[in-house]
Structure 1
Amino acid sequence: MTPRLLVIDSSIEMAHEIARVARRAGYDAHACTDYEDFSRRYDAETSVVVIDLMLTEPDGVEIIRALSGHRSPAGVILTSRFDPRVLGAAERLARAQKLWVIGTLTKPFSDSVLENMLANVEQTAVERTLKFKAFPKLEDLRAGIERDELRVYFQPKIHLHELRINSVEALVRWQHPSLGLLSPDRFIEMSEEGGLINAVTSAVMEKSFAQCSDWLTGGLDLKVSINVSTRSLTDLELPDKISALARRHNIRPEQVVLEITESWLRNDHVAALDILTRLRIKGFDLSIDDYGTGYSTMQQLQEFPFCELKLDRTFVSDAHRNPDSRAIVESSIRLGHELKLRVVAEGIATQTDWDLVSRLGCDEGQGFFIARPMPGKDMPDWLDRWQATLGDGTRG
């Protein structure tokens, strides 16, 4: 069946031009004259909608809201002559509203740019459908935890200037009996909503400490960073529980970095101060994770006893081409150092990313350019290969 595409634009001439290009790309495309026409034509068979933000009554954001309310499965392309930051904000809004955003186009744009954007939509749609059908159920996760199906993989964190490795991040996976190895985006949100996140966090911490203990036995002394559930961070006894677990595995507190997402810190200020202060007193390091994605961040850095600031991957990966992202990365590194914090860049995917954050003075980094997450048993061999690479002078 020929995929359907609807265009609604403040300029009917532009709408017809976009529809013409879409027809050339194989779409049954319609240029809508107004929102009433758009609403009449839109149905569950619509594959793609192209929305101009500068519409009036309703504007593009209101249409995004309406599509979200209808749980639209259609791919969305946003266009505008406006400030690119406004277009970026609208894209983030659409994604937050659970819409499938194919991309954004700043006017004027060439036919070829739109054609390239439309070229792989149908294949992506099929892949998305298969992915969503493959999402497990909450009862599957509960049973999986009981059957010990959760796995912990470890991703190295590199000192960007000395090129040494003394820490890793623990990342959970689920070895599902029929769906295979599942990444966190397939089950973490479900575990949060279904009340299983504390069990997931406990399993990750138990397995991470056990692996660190095994590494120590083999002569490998690595720090491990662990993401702590925001639900767990309401438990005033958490510092005592983590301390007891570390003692049971003969792990020193200074070997452990607990990563806390900054958006949580505004939820229960008093409990946060209590728990995080006690964790620091007991010797555990604290990291503010996904820095730059929440609110009141400078106040949080001042008030809470963090040791590390972790730059969000979206800014790191975008910094070499987006001046705003680069400014955020650069100012965050400077602020972190002025506050005597260790600064870590996550999401380093290319040599360009590495070169930029190194040049800006970031302390540590992690990402696929360095290494993908791996089982703990593979870490010693990977470290040997890393050292051999340094000996050849082929990295950094």
Structure 2
Amino acid sequence: MGILIKPINRSALQDIFETWSTSVPSQEVAPLSKVNPETLRAAIADGELINYYQPKVNLQTGEVVGFETLVRWNSPTQGLLFPDQFISVAEEFDMVDEMTLQVLQSALKQAREWQDAGKLWRVAVNISMKNLASLRFLDQILSMTLAARLEPQMLELEVTESYHADDLRIPLEILTRLHINRFRLSIDDFGTGNSSLSQLTAIPFDELKIDQRFVHGAHIDATRCAAFDASLGLAKQLHMEAVAEGVEDRADWDFLKDKACDVAQGYFISKVLPVGDIPSWLLSWEARRPELCQTTQVLTKFEVLH
């Protein structure tokens, strides 16, 4: 557990995250077998990677603000494979740039189609620190966005830390240039990576994504609640949009809404969808919106005790 007194001290915030990490036992997950690198290389070349999308909605109005792009591998022999089964292989065997650019091109095309239909939804794409090792990646993003006839602010780049970069000079330069060119930058899974706090001091992020481990059940867990409050407070102090991941039930939703978090994402809102399922989801979401967005005041069990 932990208590933070405003203004928030970064060292104290880091202590909260470390305490939370050690106090909550990790779930037992069966190890995933790695895919063959050459099979993956052929899959990328053959167009077997497909984009799925998960909605991100405004917590106060329920309005859809955008979609996160999540890649899947539609293997003809193994069926639908998830990123944790092949992303690390792509990074290890120098395929991550080709994969990311393929995902990005498809996402930009989809965003253009939405915009042509009158839907001004931002599309978010995950990028690895390894993508940011060469300035050529910056030029490719710029040219692809221009070719798609999209305004840069309609593309959000979520920086993940699955690969740890020893030299941050080129990544910092690329991210700074992207910011200058009006692309939105998001720090993903905040509080769980190797250098999240230090990145916040060096990179002009627009969005902070609060990891699901600090979100689901935070209204009944003091440590989760403290970590969530610290993350949200930091986002607000730095004038960043706060996005809560892993919203699993109505209690999570009401907790976040009462905390004045900006955006929510998770299975309570929608699972990850193939693009063809988005229209039917929108109809069901519009039916749920009025009741979910009524004024509520949810007290955590800790506030009730006080």
Alignment TM-score > 0.5, same fold:
yes
Offset, 1:370: 0.3
Q: Which amino acid aligns with 1:289?
A: D
In 1, Cα distance between equivalents of 2:269 and 2:20: 33
Q: Percent identity?
A: 36
The residue aligned with 2:235 is 336
C-alpha contact (below 8 Å) 2:160/2:189 kept by paired residues: yes
Shift of the 310–191 alpha-carbon distance from structure 1 to 2, 3 Å rule, reads same
The residue aligned with 2:74 is 175
Offset, 1:269: 2.9
Q: Which amino acid aligns with 1:232?
A: N
What is the total number of aligned residue pairs between the two structures?
Answer: 276
| 4, 16, 22: which one aligns with 1:88 | 22
In 2, Cα distance between equivalents of 1:160 and 1:244: 34
Shift of the 225–368 alpha-carbon distance from structure 1 to 2, 3 Å rule, reads same
Alignment of 1:135-174 (within 5 A): 135-174=34-73
Does residue 1:349 correspond to 2:248, yes or no? yes
Alignment of 1:21-170 (within 5 A): 88=22, 91=25, 102=28, 128=30, 132=33, 135-170=34-69
In 1, Cα distance between equivalents of 2:21 and 2:66: 38
Q: Deviations over 1:192-248 (max 9, x none)?
A: 222211121111101101111122222222101110122111112322211110111
Does residue 1:218 correspond to 2:114, yes or no? no
Alignment of 1:173-322 (within 5 A): 173-261=72-160, 267-322=166-221
In 2, Cα distance between equivalents of 1:87 and 1:381: 38
Q: Which amino acid aligns with 2:22?
A: G
SS in 1 for 2:123: strand
C-alpha contact (below 8 Å) 1:258/1:286 kept by paired residues: yes
Structure 2 unaligned runs (5+)?
A: 1-18, 295-306
Shift of the 286–266 alpha-carbon distance from structure 1 to 2, 3 Å rule, reads same
Q: Which amino acid aligns with 2:146?
A: R
TM-score by length of 1: 0.65
Structure 1 unaligned runs (5+)?
A: 1-84, 93-100, 103-123
Shift of the 266–357 alpha-carbon distance from structure 1 to 2, 3 Å rule, reads farther
Q: Which amino acid aligns with 1:142?
A: R
Q: CA RMSD in A?
A: 2.4
Q: Deviations over 1:133-163 (max 9, x none)?
A: xx53222111111110001001000100111
> Bigger relative contact order, structure 1 or 2, given CA contacts below 8 A and separation 6+?
2
The residue aligned with 2:260 is 361
In 1, Cα distance between equivalents of 2:63 and 2:172: 33
SS in 1 for 2:289: helix
In 1, Cα distance between equivalents of 2:20 and 2:64: 40
Q: Deviations over 1:267-309 (max 9, x none)?
A: 3332232111100111100001110013454442232111000
In 1, Cα distance between equivalents of 2:175 and 2:139: 12
C-alpha contact (below 8 Å) 1:263/1:295 kept by paired residues: no
In 2, Cα distance between equivalents of 1:185 and 1:380: 28
The residue aligned with 2:5 is none
TM-score by length of 2: 0.82
SS in 1 for 2:73: strand
C-alpha contact (below 8 Å) 1:167/1:223 kept by paired residues: yes
In 2, Cα distance between equivalents of 1:374 and 1:303: 34
